[in-house]
């Protein structure tokens, strides 16, 4: 069916049904960017400890204290797991944020996914080509920003005097490069997710027949709707009959009326019998 026939935006019920069936907008680039950023932040936080343990391990190796080397090696490995865990958590949370939560479904065999012709058609489709062009554009932009930055860091490293100064300059440069790469990746990942979200909404657009059917299913059976309306009219008529019991009616120029019951000493404080607005207030 052509895009011109789908003139109506997807209703909330259609979007909810699509999410329940696992049809949600996803962006692998956004997940990767969040995972990379989380790893960079975690590595920046734990790297001083890693450097301290590395220096201590080298000193113990020079002094031939093997027991201390084993202990420091275990601590080093434990701390090194934090960036990996942070990246995994970042990827998981970004995936949950994109899909709107975790939904479990029993696996089912779908022969349609084994269609090689459909797979090749999707590989060389317009969407795939546009995704490849976006990736190439992102690569060019990131390279144009990162290469001069890396060159500047390397130049500062070459001009530094002494091992400590060299290590300090290299570490500061690595932090700068890592955070710049993370920000660029998150920016391009966000753009890719926005494109995926817009494409998903366009794909779920509805024809006039689908829109009418969805509205009918959302509102329920016509017979039940007529019964509900009849019950509402009956309640309205019974409420209007109670106006005769009111001591006075308070109105304002915008057609809001409030009927109050006040019969001292039985009812010493005015009580609201009925409230109405617009056409009901005029009646």
Give the CA count within 13 Å in the CB-facing half-sphere of 220: 7
- Determine how many CB atoms are found less than 10 A away from the CB of residue 236: 13
Per-residue pLDDT at 1 exceeds 60: no
CA distance 161 to 41: 28
What average pLDDT does the structure give for the chain?
75
| Higher pLDDT among residues 92 and 128, named by residue | 92
Strand segments, DSSP code E, in the chain are: 248-252, 256-263, 267-277
Return the pLDDT at 138.
78
CA distance 138 to 140: 5
| Higher pLDDT among residues 36 and 208, named by residue | 36
**Two structure tokens written together for 28:** 């692998």
Q: Cα dihedral sign for 46, 52, 55, 58?
A: negative
Mean pLDDT check: name the lowest of 72-81, 173-182, 228-237. 228-237
Per-residue pLDDT at 112 exceeds 70: no
- Look up tokens 């999707």; give the residue: 122
The reported pTM is: 0.62
Q: What is the dihedral of CA 140, 24, 41, 149, to 10 degrees?
A: 10
Return the pLDDT at 103.
65
Return the pLDDT at 239.
60
CB 273, CB 259: distance < 8 Å: yes
**Two structure tokens written together for 118:** 């459909």
Q: What are 175-230's pLDDT values in tens digits?
A: 888 888 888 888 888 888 888 888 888 888 888 888 777 777 666 556 666 777 77
Residue-range domains of the chain with CATH = 24-103+114-203 (no CATH), 232-282 (3.40.1690.10)
């Amino acid at each position: 069916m052509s895009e011109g026939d789908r003139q109506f935006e997807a209703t909330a019920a259609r979007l909810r049904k699509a999410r329940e069936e696992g049809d949600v907008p996803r962006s692998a680039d956004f997940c990767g960017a969040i995972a990379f950023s989380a790893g960079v932040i975690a590595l920046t936080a734990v790297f001083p400890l890693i450097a301290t343990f590395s220096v201590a391990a080298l000193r113990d190796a020079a002094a031939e204290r093997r027991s201390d080397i084993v202990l420091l090696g275990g601590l080093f490995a434990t701390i090194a797991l934090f960036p990996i865990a942070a990246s995994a958590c970042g990827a998981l949370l970004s995936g949950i944020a994109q899909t709107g939560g975790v939904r479990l479904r029993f696996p089912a065999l779908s022969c349609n996914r084994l269609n090689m012709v459909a797979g090749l058609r999707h590989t060389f489709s317009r969407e795939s080509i546009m995704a490849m062009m976006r990736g190439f554009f992102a690569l060019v932009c990131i390279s144009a920003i990162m290469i001069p930055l890396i060159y500047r860091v390397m130049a500062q490293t070459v001009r530094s005097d002494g091992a400590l100064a060299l290590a300090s300059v290299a570490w500061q440069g690595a932090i700068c490069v890592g955070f710049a790469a993370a920000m660029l990746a998150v920016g391009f990942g966000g753009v890719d997710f926005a494109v995926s979200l817009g494409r998903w909404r366009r794909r779920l657009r509805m024809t006039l027949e689908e829109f009418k059917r969805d509205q009918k299913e959302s509102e329920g059976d016509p017979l039940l709707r007529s019964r509900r309306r009849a019950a509402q009219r009956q309640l309205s008529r019974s409420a209007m009959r109670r106006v005769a019991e009111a001591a006075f009616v308070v109105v304002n120029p915008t057609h809001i009326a409030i009927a109050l019951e006040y019969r001292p000493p039985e009812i010493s404080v005015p009580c609201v019998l009925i409230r109405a607005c617009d056409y009901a207030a005029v009646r």
